[in-house]
Structure 1
Amino acid sequence: MSALGDILKRQIALSGPLSVAEYMTLCLQHPQHGYYITRDPFGAAGDFTTAPEISQMFGEMFGLALAQIWLDQGAGPVSLVEAGPGRGTLMADILRSTARVPGFHDAASVHLVETSPVLRARQREALGTHPVTWHDSVADLPDGPMLFIANEFFDALPIRQFVRQGRGWAERCVGLVEGELSFGLKPATAQPVLDDLFADVAPDTLVEWCPAAAPIMGEVANRLRHGGAALIIDYGSYDGTGDTLQALSAQTTVDPLTIPGDADLTAHVNFGHLARAAGLRHGIEDQGAFLELLGITARAQQLSARDPSVVAAHRRLTHPQEMGTLFKVLGISAGSQPLPAFRNFTLKGT
């Protein structure tokens, strides 16, 4: 058991079981032992590899999509925002790929939403001398038009889990059984928000609710009403149920309760809930299809002439058996026109 695990056991013994959200928050953000506070988890030497670390093509495609949105909407001043920017690789690739778009860099001020001191230092290295403003939360971002991108950000937000029992909902919690961390259920209670979000689920169905997601999307939507768009990339589904909580350490899946603070904890994103919270026009595409519509195959063919590994990177980003269908791209905008590479743009679900 990790150092944080011993702390959690003592806390549960004194104060009772933790909700899954409380457990995730402590594992990821504990001031001394939190996963994101103490390390750089990205890349081959870390616990997981994100799409921007796989290939520069990922950031290039999204950079050009953001630049096209900016051009389509009049090419005015805009905040270029990334939430959860990791090592800064995605933003660095976005800035490099858009450097030749006339006027874009002069119009766009870069803002990163990041709480980790370790990762802020990595981001500064990646972005060199480019002016950047860091923020602790989306609520701190400036008002006005915004181009917002978030890759594997919402999956790390703490979730609460509930099981439908009769007309109520029993919350799943983390307690102690014979001195070890273990999952259990609290007595069922009324949860009107779940009645609304999961109106048609069958009895005994486990559902996941991310309380932090709606306020964040509300902040994003308030700025998008001034112009711009949001592109949210993550794994999940438009509407889903079931237990998706997972832990990853050294590129390997582990039990979420085994090494708290020493493994990444995530859950699948419910894109329907995000779109509903934004209340704006939106579209959703599989990541693979989205990147293909943006032209990633032509770019891969160009790069592979001098770097054959690009072929494997292209497959990993786009193939249905890799990241192509598990990962989705949600586009959100208050504008009347569709965003680039979205074949359907609608108010469905809002």
Structure 2
Amino acid sequence: MVDKAGVAEVDEVLVGIDTHVDVHVAVALDQFGRKLDVLSITTTGHGHRRLLEWVRALGTPHRFGVEGTGAYGAGLTRYLRRQGMDVVEVIRPTRQTRRRAGGKNDAIDAEAAARAVQAGTVMGQAKSQDGPVEMIRTLRLARRSAMKARTQAANQLHAVVVTAPQELRDRLRGLSLANLVATAARFRPGNVTTLEGAAKLALKSLAARYQQLAQEISALDQQIDRLAHQAAPDLMQIKGFGVDTAAALLVAAGDNPKRLRSEASFAHMCGVAPMPASSGKTNRNRLNRGGSREANRALYMLAINRLSYDPRARAYAARRTAEGKTRAEIVRCLKRYLATCGFGTFSGRSRRA
């Protein structure tokens, strides 16, 4: 639309947002790519409302490109989606892009995000992060840290036994971890006046910590199992897809897996899409180091297990080995196939697993 003075009016506003812990910086462009304004907001509910009011004052909001929709921009992304806005995730600018832009600051990064939205490049639909999968992701963070802390407590238990007085060491050194924890938890060292008393108190403290962390992990596992069955009941019915494997794939896909255009895009997200590494007469694919490493690890363990019990997987491996494929290449092919099976349960285009 053009006014009487010959100046094009603003019909649509595209916004790029550079996100941080305390402050977000937004740059607005019109439908012709002209820079309209820059705004800095706090990462609060008031700041989110102020951003939307600012955009509506400039014109009709068309699309928002947000960096870090799963991290610093998660709260803003949820707010904008609840308001019916179209939000896409924009990859942070590369060094080459920043050199062309003349440097780096928050406004430059936000403008680069806005221009990426306008060009339709380096962006994808943001995860909704408002359902059971986001709950699973949050609980798995707590579970992962609890697992690490429990392992550390177990290692320290064994270390204290190694340096304990000889009589106490002879009593404990042959015990399994479970028996060591149970025995140490029953110690009554009282006031510490000897080296043996200090060792018993340390062991009792570590054993109590181990037991508490074990209970915490068990409680988290129960909740994750319930949410995984709620989010993807069909996936949980496939043999081999346990809670840990399913949770990793669900977190990679998000609460709105239909945003993924195809099974190939999901495979790429899991880091199992083939990466061409051919040259001359050599025709091969190499290891894909991209994508979610958690999902990649889950698919790897699933593929290894399939090779141990599934006749179809064994027959496939034998056939590919005869063709000259290495075991690593065969496992990569199986991971790609299993990612397809998992994606089928999200999209409704199921494939036999």
Q: TM-score, normalised by structure 1?
A: 0.21
Greater RCO, CA 8 A, separation 6+: 1
- Going by fraction, where is strand more abundant, 1 or 2? 1
- Going by fraction, where is helix more abundant, 1 or 2? 2
Q: TM-score, normalised by structure 2?
A: 0.21
